[in-house]
Structure 1
Amino acid sequence: MSKTGIKGFFHSARHSARHLEMRDAYAIDEDYRQWAAGNRFDPAERWPWWIQLVSATVARGVAVQRARVVSEPVSPYVRYEYELTDPHNVKAGEDVRWLPRKQASDLALPGNDFWLFDDEFVLFNHFAGDGTMTGEELVTDPAVVELCVSAFASVWDRALPHERYQPL
């Protein structure tokens, strides 16, 4: 997701920005390689724009929520995300929850990760098999938006808050 594109959606959000992630790995970048090599870093130094964007959005009264559906035992990439969640996402003001995939079998979930803004439109994130983002798709069709509202709520209701989740 480009910084430029997502910033506009966050700036215009009035009530909520919700993100559903369902992949066990995303593109392997230099940050991940550094982490995998044991070189821990401060996410605020790597991604200050995200912390500033989310912090400002939350300060305006917009709820920023992220739910992650994950396989267990978790992949190395999900462990990386988990370790960075407190100093990155939570520090910025996001409310983050985790749902083991085996507890999501009876939920109707879209085929792609997405951002849902104010329950009015969906920004789908499209990825290649290797986790590289291949594009985004903005959808306003009420039926698709309602599917995503329902999917996010179903995951959110079952998922554990970050501070209670312990990855296997």
Structure 2
Amino acid sequence: MPQSSVPKFSDLISDCHRSAVHLEMRDVYGVASEAEDFAEWQKYGRITPASVEGRRPWLDLVQGAVRRGVEIRRARVVSVPVSEYIRYEHAGTYLNVAAGEKVRWLPRRLASALVLPGNDLWLFDNRLIRFGHFGGDGSSAGHELCEDPAVIKQCSAAFESVWELSTPHEDFEV
């Protein structure tokens, strides 16, 4: 599907009924919408009240989906020692968890025997994938939808293999 016709994430999660899983595999994201928040974290070394309010639309979206019965899980494959960006992500993940997401972390060295997709992804109800494409600097290069049952099966298995080996957020130290 052309990137311009990929629905907004909020529409995809609204159409989700059972599960949404997110596999993240980059050590740096340079997404424009996070630039100010990341700079604030670098300046203060913590997630500020302004940062929490800036994340409110995402947190509300997650809470709404979880209230509807959608299980949301996020697995992050990261290099250790972690990048500054991953320390920033880790610092704010308590908000995701409080909103209802289940989040786990997997040191990349433990993923060597796993077969993983080439891109980050969201898998909705084991029926639809939204791949996230990124430039070398971590900037967003758009999204692509996939409904191919074979690809869905492979990506679901990849996510579950990461999930099984990973550490819950509350036990993972950066």
Return the alpha-carbon distance in structure 1 between the equivalents of residues 63 and 11 of structure 2: 15
Match of 1:33 in 2: 39
Q: How does 1:11-50 map to 2 (within 5 A)?
A: 11-27=14-30, 29-38=35-44, 40=46, 41-42=48-49, 43-50=51-58
The answer as to whether partners of 1:44 and 1:51 remain within 8 angstroms in 2 is: no
Match of 2:85 in 1: 77
CA deviation after TM superposition for structure 1 residue 132, in Å: 0.4
Normalized per residue, the structure richer in helix is: 2
Specify the SS of the correspondent of 1:13: coil
Please report the RMSD computed on the Cα atoms of aligned residues, expressed in angstroms: 1.2
Q: Unaligned 5+ residue runs, structure 1?
A: none
Specify the SS of the correspondent of 2:171: coil
Q: Are residue 118 (structure 1) and residue 125 (structure 2) matched?
A: yes
The answer as to whether partners of 1:32 and 1:80 remain within 8 angstroms in 2 is: yes
Match of 1:6 among 5, 9, 24: 9
**Alignment deviations for residues 91-131 of structure 1 (CA, whole Å, 9 cap, x no partner):** 21100000000000000000100000001110000000011
Q: How does 1:11-160 map to 2 (within 5 A)?
A: 11-27=14-30, 29-38=35-44, 40=46, 41-42=48-49, 43-86=51-94, 88-160=95-167
CA deviation after TM superposition for structure 1 residue 166, in Å: 1.0
Aligned residues between the structures? 163
TM-score (norm 2): 0.90
Identity of aligned residues (%): 49
Shift >3 Å, 4+ stretches: none
TM-score (norm 1): 0.94
Return the alpha-carbon distance in structure 2 between the equivalents of residues 44 and 26 of structure 1: 19
